[in-house]
Structure 1
Amino acid sequence: MTRQQHFGWFLARGFGPQGWGYPSLDWDYDWTRPEIYQDAARTLEQAGFDLVIIEDAPSLGSPETIDLRVRHAFGGPKHDPMLLAPYLFQATRHLGVVPTVNPAAYVPYTAARQFATLQHLSAHRLGLNVVTDTGSARHFSAAAPLGHDEAYDRAEEWLDGIRLLWRSWDHGALVADRATDVYADGSKLRAVQHRGEYFAFDGPLNAIPFPHGEPAIVSPGGSGRGLGFAGANSDVQLALAPLNERSVRDYRAKIHDAAVAAGRSAADIKILFAIQPVITASAEDADRIVAASAHPDDAALVQIARKQSSDLETDLTSLDLDKPLDPSVFGAHVSRGSIQRLIGDRGDDAPLRAHLTALARAGRIADRSGFVGTAEEFADLIDELGDWGNDGVLLWGDFHPVTLHRTLDELVPVLRRRGILRREYVDGGLQANLRAF
């Protein structure tokens, strides 16, 4: 039986040069202005999407890889997605907007106050994609960068502190009674005093409580510590895993077990698997795209290496394509999940060429070897995920109109006709829509 699922869009380019490197750039949009993002947000809301997650990297990376990251605009420049969010809220009525935030960049009191302000201004549609990018830490403090697990410890303390501040107004503290001329009852405000390993601050927060719930917390991360963080804290998990039944069920079970271990219900978190489909007009078109990707030339492999170098903050273009990739080239700050996505199951003896070739190759949705196919074939896949208990998917791409419409124009009607994609929103903001089914 068809099962309705949640849909989101992961803005993989972040608040950066939309369409750079593609012929569609000649639409002449100015990526620094809000219009292209507002148009895209309206399209996603018309399509019935729950949320858009705006990727971000506040750093241009290590000195060794800055040129790689900016030369082709893979890793920068990027403007601040938190400041873009109000423009997207203004353009829409229901869509959740989820900027990426790094705990190293915001002290808890300032973060709690700013995020509370946006939650009220947006009618409760704010989400926060909490990342633990340790490579950016040098921009915010003279302290040495934290290790992988320690960065999650800091993020957990940061988020706990923000929630303490959001909840420093007890029930009944906000009175707003004109008859008695009492706006708030100060005796019901709690003087939070936090002295932790990473942060120290006092409350209460100078912002009123939320009538429809706190901002939704989103998290990526596939490590054991990352999955534990998601289970304990997140409303949405950005999931990266092979889309076969065993992998999907195992991944979901790990998140749900972590949620239950933290005293939550498995239903408290929505797990959305990230997919970047190539929607084609016909099966024959899909076959042609897949065949063309089977034997990439060196130029194509170098282009992939450039992007991977940006993502991994490691210059892969300086390595010999035909020699094994030594994992020690990656710094401790590089996500283990990102490294694993490059290496896959090919082993330490495989040359770099084999890893890049595997990334270059496309596969067909129809035989579950990849994500190239027709709208009907993609809907079949989403139906199958629903049969495995899936909550939804995050489609992946930039906000150039060509990218958006190439993916959605044929797909949305098919998903709606099958009952997979919502037609209406409920009142109450992002949290209410995530819990609607």
Structure 2
Amino acid sequence: MSKLQHFGWFLARGFGPHGWGHPYLDWNYRWTEPELYQQSIRELEQAGFDLLIIEDAPSLGNASTIDLRIRQAFGGPKHDPLLLAPYLFGATSHIGVVPTVNPAAYLPYTAARQFATLQHLSGHRLGLNVVTDTGSARHFGSAGPLSHDAAYDRAEEWLGGIRDLWRSWGDGALIADPAAGRYADGSKLTSVQHRGEYFDFDGPLNAIPFTDGEPVIVSPGGSGRGLGFAGANSEVQLALAPLDPDSIREYRAKIHAAAVERGRNPSDVKILFAIQPVLVSSAEEADRLVAASANPDDAALLHIAERQSSDLETDLTQQDLDAPLDLSIFGDHVSQGSIKRLLGGYDPATTPLRAMLAKQAKLGRIGQGGFVGTAEEFADLIENLGETADNDGVLLWGDLHPVTVHRILDELVPILRRRGILRTEFGGGGLRGNLSDF
């Protein structure tokens, strides 16, 4: 019997100009208004998706890459996904919403109170995608950016402090008994006095306890330190890896080992692998697209270099396509996972940049390390990974425009449901309930 899988949507472009650069811009949705996102998330919920994760980067980047990031809206502008979340909760009843948050941008007490408020307002459907983007440091104070690992150290202190505040109302502190005339018992509140390396603050929190658990913590880090953070703190890991059983098992083993090392059970972390499928009507059409991508011209490579420059906050368009890539051009703030994805397994000391970008351009067939195929083939892949690699589920990677949602889901959802892979109804308990249903 097929194993039920968890499904989520990763809004990889963030709360930005949806439709820009695509023909469906002429649907005339306004990306700055909530209706576009409300329509799409209602349909994700109808499809049985557990959660929506919204990417974010608070900065437009450094001076050398700002134009690259905004010229085609690759990396900006972006509005704050935390403020979009209430509109999405108001349009739905079950699906979780997970905006990206940066510890540098929120003092712990303010963060704990705001997140607690959203958790209550949403029916306990809030998640937090915790990122450690250090390139944004200059926007939040005079301190310089932290190193990669130090940023994770700060994030762990930040999250631990927030959890202490959420838990500062002990058992029995909230009474809310009109007959007794007593709302709360102050003697059962913990003062919380945090004096750490990065933050100093006091509690208790001016917000009541949760009935269905704290907000779900999501993390995307793929480095050794990032995987350690996930093992210690996360309920969901946004994972990137080749979608074959051996790679899936290897990645899952790393997360599980990190969880056990921090005294948690492996099952405490749901690992969802991100994939951006290109679903077509026939195997012949898939083969045609794959063949057409095999030999990209310089214009196509430049387009990919512009996109990569946005993610890496480093202008690759000025690099010699036919020379090896000098890794010293990347500052300490650049995501190690993003650099690894650019390298694609190549040795940067001997491989020209052209080969790395060409690999990014080349499409592959579903089942052969790629993402192009029919809905039936994609369902085969998901079912196989669940059965042979004990996978928890997948995150479909795309924008949140209704055209994109329908293009991917219209044929796929009925197939997944007929196979018993995709839920047909929700239980209760908010986002935590979605993740623990099976």
TM-score range relative to shorter protein = over 0.9
Which residue identity lines up with residue 6 of structure 2 in the other structure?
Answer: H
Find the counterpart in structure 2 of residue 105 from structure 1.
Answer: 105
Distance 1:352 1:389 in 2: 36
Q: Specify the code of the residue in structure 1 equivalent to 2:434.
A: N
Tell me how far apart the structure 2 counterparts of residues 145 and 133 of structure 1 sit (CA, whole Å): 9
Deviation at 1:63, TM superposition (A): 0.9
Percent sequence identity over aligned pairs:
75
CA–CA separation in structure 2 for the residues paired with 1:84 and 1:112: 18
Deviates more, 1:56-65 or 1:280-289: 280-289
Shift of 1:269: 0.7
Aligned twin of 1:401: 402
In 1: Cα distance, 2:12 partner to 2:344 partner: 21
Letter of the structure 2 residue corresponding to residue 222 of structure 1: G
1:201 corresponds in structure 2 to: 201
Matches within 5 A, 1:184-199: 184-199=184-199
Matched residue count = 436
The SS at the match of 2:237 is strand
CA deviations on 1:365-411 (whole Å, 9 max, x unpaired) are: 1x423010001100110011102110000000001122111111111
Deviation at 1:147, TM superposition (A): 0.2
1:18 aligns to what SS in structure 2? Answer: coil
Please name the residue that 2:142 is paired with. 142
1:275 aligns with 2:286: no
Q: Take 1:338 and 1:14, find their aligned partners in 2: how far apart are those partners? A: 17
For structure 1, which segment, 40-49 or 317-326, has the greater mean C-alpha deviation from structure 2 after superposition? Answer: 317-326
- Distance of 1:271 and 1:209 partners within structure 2: 27
Q: CA RMSD in A?
A: 0.7
- CA distance in 2 between partners of 1:190 and 1:113 (Å): 15
Equivalent position of 1:94 in the other structure: 94
User: How far apart, in 2, do the equivalents of 1:133 and 1:244 lie?
Assistant: 29
2:296 equivalent to 1:296: yes
- State how far apart, in whole Å, the 2-side matches of 1:433 and 1:196 are: 34
Residue aligning to 2:216: 216
**Residues 106-144 of structure 1, C-alpha deviation per residue, up to 9 Å, x if partnerless?**
000000000000000000000000000000111001001
Per-residue deviation, residues 151-209 of structure 1 (Å, max 9, x unmatched): 00000000000000000000110000111110001110110000000000000000000
1:350-389 to structure 2, matched below 5 A, reads 350-365=351-366, 367-387=367-387, 388-389=389-390
Q: Which residue of 2 aligns with 1:420?
A: 421
Question: Per-residue displacement from partner, 1:335-376 (whole Å, max 9, x unpaired)?
Answer: 1111010111221211111111100010111x4230100011
| Bigger shift: residues 125-134 or 322-331 | 322-331
- SS across alignment from 2:194: strand
1:245-260 aligned at under 5 Å gives the runs 245-260=245-260
Q: In structure 2, what is the Cα distance between the partners aligned to 1:98 and 1:30?
A: 22
Q: Check conservation: 2:244, 2:369, Cα contact below 8 A.
A: no
Which whole-Å CA distance do the structure 2 matches of 1:401 and 1:191 have between them? Answer: 47
Q: Secondary structure at the match of 1:217?
A: strand
Residues 1:311 and 2:295 aligned together: no
Q: SS of 1:301's equivalent?
A: helix
Residue in 1 that maps onto 2:160: 160
CA distance in structure 2 between the partners assigned to 1:249 and 1:145 by the alignment: 35
Distance in 1 separating the partners of 2:279 and 2:160: 41
Distance 1:59 1:262 in 2: 32
* Residue identity in the other structure for 1:216: V
CA shift, 1:299, in A, is: 1.1
SS at match of 2:253: helix
Deviations 1:236-285 (A, max 9, x none): 00001111222111111111111111111111110000000001111111
Q: TM-score, normalised by structure 2?
A: 0.99
Runs of 4 or more, structure 1, over 4 Å off, are none
TM alignment of 1:11-90, pairs within 5 A: 11-90=11-90
Deviations 1:82-127 (A, max 9, x none): 0000000000000100000000000000000000000000000000
Q: Secondary structure at the match of 2:135?
A: helix
The match for 1:237 is: 237
Q: How does 1:112-127 map to 2 (within 5 A)?
A: 112-127=112-127
Distance in 1 between residues matched to 2:29 and 2:179, nearest whole Å: 53
TM-score, reference length from structure 1: 0.99
Unmatched 5+ stretches in structure 1: none
- Where do 5+ consecutive residues of structure 2 fail to align? none
Q: Is the 8 A contact 2:3 2:383 kept in 1?
A: yes
Instruction: Supply the distance in 1 between the matched residues of 2:404 and 2:111 (Cα, whole angstroms).
Output: 33
* Alignment partners' CA distance in 2, 1:247 and 1:281: 28
Q: Distance in 1 between matches of 2:181 and 2:136?
A: 48
Equivalent position amino acid for 2:382 in 1: I
* One-letter amino acid of the structure 1 residue matched with residue 215 of structure 2: P
3-state SS of the aligned residue for 2:433? helix
In 1, are the aligned partners of 2:243 and 2:369 still within 8 Å (CA)?
Answer: no
Deviation sequence 1:273-318 (CA, Å, 0-9, x none)? 0000001111111111111111111111111111000000010111
Provide the rounded CA distance (Å) in 1 between the counterparts of 2:22 and 2:293.
17
Amino acid at match of 1:159: L
Report the Cα distance in structure 1 between the residues aligned to 2:123 and 2:296, rounded to whole angstroms: 48
Larger CA deviation: 84-93 vs 341-350: 341-350
Q: Secondary structure at the match of 1:427?
A: coil
SS class of match (1:8): strand
